[in-house]
């Protein structure tokens, strides 16, 4: 039942706001709190508009659906703030569960309970419907309710993605970036499962540069 990742087929209309290096929707969502190791993390979901644009960047909602949600949030600011607070609670609950799993520690019961609440809520908004593609082998597909039925709608596919990951064999391949200043999460789909960086062009290259200058400095001594 690949509801969440299938939505990535929708191409974003505007220039993206988010760097998507997690290879899974729910991991990209965890990474919306940047610079976690610094002690002064940067919140990338500062406003409801940010949450809506994350939904567009990841392809879980189309641009016109995002525009409608942003319009609704302007008319219902309290509900929008509540949805944003719920989004952050979902993210941090998932992060707590994933980090415990990666460290081979007991999963925090409260975090798991909160996460289950979001998963159960998402399940109430998904149903089997006739496929628009009408492929010979696929006549039904899972679809979520119309996005504008709730300002919480961006959370449904994210919670679904989290549930699918946590109940799958892929869980053992979740990694944290080796950069001590980054530690974004990603799914290691490399052949040998030895991927170290969230993005080789970003953290990987920075590490190479540091090693180069370190060797150069030692050589000049």
Do residues 48 and 84 lie in contact, with contact meaning Cβ atoms separated by under 8 Å?
Answer: yes
Distance from C-alpha of 112 to C-alpha of 115, rounded to nearest angstrom: 5
Q: Among candidates 186, 189, 193, 196, which has minimal Cα distance to 25?
A: 186
Q: Among candidates 77, 78, 54, which has minimal Cα distance to 66?
A: 54
Kindly report the number of other CB atoms within 10 A of residue 64's CB atom. 11
Q: Among candidates 78, 24, 21, 20, which has minimal Cα distance to 53?
A: 20
Residue that has been written with the tokens 């919670």 in this structure: 159
Kindly report the number of other CB atoms within 10 A of residue 186's CB atom. 24
Confidence of residue 208 (pLDDT cuts 50, 70, 90): very low
Q: What share of the chain in percent tops pLDDT 90?
A: 66
Residue that has been written with the tokens 């990742």 in this structure: 5
| 44-65 confidence digits (pLDDT tens) | 999 999 999 999 999 999 999 9
Q: Above 70 in pLDDT, residue 133?
A: no
Do residues 49 and 70 lie in contact, with contact meaning Cβ atoms separated by under 8 Å?
Answer: yes
> For the chain, what is the mean pLDDT?
85
Do residues 3 and 160 lie in contact, with contact meaning Cβ atoms separated by under 8 Å?
Answer: yes
User: 182: exposed, middle or buried (C-beta count within 10 Å: 0-12, 13-18, 19+)?
Assistant: buried
Provide the whole-model pTM.
Answer: 0.84
- The CA–CA distances, whole Å, from 94 to 30, 55, 125, 151 equal 7, 17, 20, 20
Confidence of residue 207 (pLDDT cuts 50, 70, 90): very low
Query: What is the number of domains present in the chain?
Result: 1
pLDDT value at position 141?
79
Q: Above 90 in pLDDT, residue 98?
A: yes
Distance from C-alpha of 57 to C-alpha of 156, rounded to nearest angstrom: 16
Distance from C-alpha of 155 to C-alpha of 151, rounded to nearest angstrom: 9
Distance from C-alpha of 102 to C-alpha of 174, rounded to nearest angstrom: 7
Q: Among candidates 158, 175, 155, which has minimal Cα distance to 22?
A: 175
User: Which range of residues forms the domain containing residue 74?
Assistant: 5-219
Q: Above 80 in pLDDT, residue 218?
A: no
Q: Among candidates 96, 165, 90, 153, which has minimal Cα distance to 124?
A: 153
Q: State the CATH number of the domain containing residue 20.
A: 1.10.3300.10
Confidence of residue 205 (pLDDT cuts 50, 70, 90): very low
């Amino acid at each position: 039942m690949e509801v969440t990742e299938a939505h990535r087929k929708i191409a974003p209309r505007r220039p993206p706001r988010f760097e998507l290096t997690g290879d899974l929707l729910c991991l990209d969502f965890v990474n919306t709190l940047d610079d976690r190791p610094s002690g002064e993390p940067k919140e990338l979901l500062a406003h409801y508009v940010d949450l809506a644009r994350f939904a567009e960047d990841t392809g879980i909602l189309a641009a016109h659906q995002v525009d409608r949600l942003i319009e609704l949030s302007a008319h219902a600011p309290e509900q929008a703030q509540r949805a944003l607070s719920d989004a952050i609670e979902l993210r941090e609950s998932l992060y707590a569960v994933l980090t415990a799993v990666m460290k081979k520690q007991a999963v925090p019961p409260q975090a798991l309970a909160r996460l289950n609440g979001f998963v159960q809520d998402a399940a109430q908004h998904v149903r089997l419907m006739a496929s628009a593609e009408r492929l010979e082998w696929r006549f039904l597909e899972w679809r979520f309710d119309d996005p504008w039925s709730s300002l919480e709608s961006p959370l449904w596919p994210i919670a679904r993605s989290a549930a699918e990951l946590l109940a799958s064999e892929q869980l053992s391949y979740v990694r944290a970036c080796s950069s001590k200043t980054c530690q974004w999460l990603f799914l290691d789909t490399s052949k040998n499962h030895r991927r170290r960086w969230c993005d080789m062009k970003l953290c990987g290259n920075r590490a190479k540069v540091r090693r180069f200058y370190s060797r150069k400095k030692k050589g000049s001594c």
